[in-house]
Structure 1
Amino acid sequence: MTRIGIFFGSNTGNTRKIAKMIKKRFPDDERIADPLNVNKATPELIAGYDHLILGTPTLGEGLLPGLDADCQQESWAEFLPRLADVDFSGKTVALYGLGDQEKYPDNFADALGELYEFVTAHGAKVVGQWPTDGYDFIASKAEIDGEFVGLVQDLDNQKMLLEDRLETWLLLIAGEFGWVMK
Structure 2
Amino acid sequence: MVKKRITKVYTKTGDQGLTSLVGGSRVSKASLRVDSYGDVDELNAVLGIILSQGVDDEINSLLIAIQNDLFIMGADLASPPDIEVPRISKESFENLEVAIDKFLEELEPLKEFILPSGNTGGSYLHFARTVSRRVERKVVKLMEEEEIGQNVLIYLNRLSDLLFVMARVENQRGNFKETFVDFKK
TM-score by length of 1: 0.29
Which structure's residues are more often helix, by fraction? 2
Which structure has the highest strand share of the two? 1
Bigger Rg, structure 1 or 2: 2
TM-score relative to the length of structure 2: 0.28
